[in-house]
Amino acid sequence: MRSDEAIPEGPPMLDGRRVFRIHWVLGTDRLRAVCHCGSERVFEDPIELWEWLLGHPADHDGGGAEGTPAAAPREPALVSAGDREESAEMVTEPHTEHELDLVVEKKESMAEGVVQLTLRSPDGAELPAWEPGAHIDLVLDDELTRQYSLCGDPAERSVLQIAVLREPDGRGGSAHVHDLLHVGDTVRVRGPRNHFPLRPASRYVFIAGGIGITPILPMIEQVEAAGAEWTLAYGGRTRGSMAFRDRLQRAYPSKVVIHPADETGLLDLAEILADPGASAEDALVYCCGPEPLLLAVEAQCAAAWPHGALNIERFAPRAGATDGPREAFEVELTRSGLTLPVPAERSVLEVVEEAGVQVLTSCQEGTCGTCETAVLDGVPDHRDSVLTDDEQAANDTMMICVSRSCSARLVLDL
C-alpha cells in the first residue's frame, strides 16, 4: 500500500471509544495504529489493520468495570501520510479514564523492601482491561499520587497487581504504601494507561534493573505465548532484593540471566546488546530501571542499534529534562476560546487550571503522560520524559505540566 492510496474510513466510535491515531512508519510501507489505551500495532496489510481496528477496542474496553470515568485530555484522531505537513483531518473525541476505589486484597513481601499489592473491586466487578507496559495511579491522599506498573496477568480481569519498592529517599509514596496501606483498606486507582506498549518484533532483549522488572513481567509472558525469541538480563543490588527472581529463573532458566551486583557487578550492556537487529521490527530492546541504567542503555543503543529499537519507561524525570531557559509565551485554547499568557515562572498546566480549564494530571513532572495535550499550532519545547525522540519531533502533543514553547504562541486542543 502506498501513501497516496485511500485508507478505509475508520470506525467512528466503538463502545464509545475509538482507535485514535494511524500513521505511516517513516521510510516504510507500514502503518502504525495506536489505540486509546496506548497499545499499538504495525501493519503491512491494511486489511489486517482494519480487522484490528474493528476487534481491538472490544477486547479491552474496560466494560463492566465499576468507577467513574474522569474527564481526560482529548486525543487527536490523526491520519497522516508520513509527515506532519501531510497530516489529514484532525478529529477529536472524548478520551476517558477510569477512576476506581479498590480494596487491598493481599499485601505480600516479594523481596527485601518490595511488597506486591493485589487490588480488587469491593463487589468483585471486572476491572478495566490493560496490556503489558501499562501503569496505574494510586491516589494515596490529596497530595500524594504515584504511578506503578501493572505486573500481573492482563487476562485476569478481577484483580490488578503492582509491586512497590520502599525508597528511603523517596517523596513519601512508597513509604505510604509500605507503612499505611493495609489489607482491607480502600485505595483510589486511576487508569490503566500505557506509554510503554509492547510492539511487534521477532526478537526482544529485556533489561530490568531492580523494581523495573514489574512492567517487564507481563511482557515476557506475552512474547513467550506468542513464540517470539527473547532474553531477560535482570540486575539488582543483591539476590534478596530482586523481586520475582525465583519465579523467572524457574520458569525460563535458559532465557533469564540474573545479575546481582554484589556477586557479578553491573550489567554488561556491551555483551547484552551485542547483537542489534537489522531493523526495529526485527529486534526490540525494552528497559526499565534506575536512571543510570537507562542512560547507559540509551548510549549503548544509540551507538549500535537501529533507530526506534529501544523502548524505555521512566518513573522519574530524565536527568536535565526540565532544565533550560524559561521564556514567557502565550497559549490559545481552541475548545475553551481562551488565550492566556504563560509567564516564565509558571507552567502551562498551572495557567490553564487557574483559568478553570480542567486537565487530568498526575505526576506533574513529565513522566506519567496523563496531561498529554494535542498541539494544533506552534512549536513545543519538550521537557518531558515520556515521549520518544520521534514523538517529540512530531510536535503534535506535549506534556503541559513541564513542557514549554519555542514559539511565541502555542495553540492547544483544550
Number of residues binding to ligand FES, judged by CB under 6 A: 14
User: What's the min distance (Å) between Cβ of 70 and ligand FES?
Assistant: 13
Stretch that binds ligand FES, among 16-24, 62-70, 281-289, 359-367 (CB under 6 A): 359-367
- Which parts of 237-316 are beta strand (E)? 256-260, 283-288, 310-313
Residue 414 interacting with ligand FES (CB under 6 A):
no
Between 163 and 368, name the residue whose CB sits nearer to ligand FES.
368
The three cell numbers of residue 362 are 498526575
* Contact characters 373-412, ligand FES, x per CB under 6 A: -----------x-x------------x-x-----------
The three cell numbers of residue 113 are 523492601
User: What's the min distance (Å) between Cβ of 137 and ligand FES?
Assistant: 9
Stretch that binds ligand FES, among 28-36, 84-92, 228-236, 368-376 (CB under 6 A): 368-376
User: What's the min distance (Å) between Cβ of 367 and ligand FES?
Assistant: 6
Residue 364 interacting with ligand FES (CB under 6 A):
yes
Residue 138 interacting with ligand FES (CB under 6 A):
no
Stretch that binds ligand FES, among 46-54, 192-200, 267-275, 355-363 (CB under 6 A): 355-363
> Cβ–Cβ contacts within 10 Å for residue 22, how many?
21
d(CA 174, CA 30): 42
Binder to ligand FES among 371, 387, 398, 410 (CB under 6 A)?
371
User: What's the min distance (Å) between Cβ of 385 and ligand FES?
Assistant: 8
Between 208 and 386, name the residue whose CB sits nearer to ligand FES.
386
Between 285 and 351, name the residue whose CB sits nearer to ligand FES.
351
The three cell numbers of residue 333 are 485554547
d(CA 395, CA 403): 11
Residue 62 DSSP one-character state: -
d(CA 7, CA 15): 22
Which residues are paired to 79 by β-bridges? Answer: 22
Rg (CA), the chain: 21
Going by C-beta distance under 8 Å and a sequence separation of 6 or more, which residues neighbour residue 211?
A: 114, 163, 164, 165, 243, 289
| Helix, strand, or coil (residue 378) | coil
Residue 37 DSSP one-character state: T
User: What's the min distance (Å) between Cβ of 290 and ligand FES?
Assistant: 19
d(CA 46, CA 27): 17
Binder to ligand FES among 361, 376, 379, 409 (CB under 6 A)?
361
Residue 296 interacting with ligand FES (CB under 6 A):
no
d(CA 5, CA 111): 54
User: What's the min distance (Å) between Cβ of 391 and ligand FES?
Assistant: 13
d(CA 276, CA 77): 33
User: What's the min distance (Å) between Cβ of 157 and ligand FES?
Assistant: 26
Residue 368 interacting with ligand FES (CB under 6 A):
yes
125 phi, psi to nearest 5 deg: -65, 155
Between 115 and 401, name the residue whose CB sits nearer to ligand FES.
401
Residue 359 interacting with ligand FES (CB under 6 A):
no
Binder to ligand FES among 39, 149, 370, 405 (CB under 6 A)?
370
DSSP codes, 327-368: --EEEEETTTTEEEEE-TTS-HHHHHHHTT-----SSSSSSS
Applying CB under 6 A, the residues found at the interface with ligand FES are 361-364, 366-371, 384, 386, 399, 401
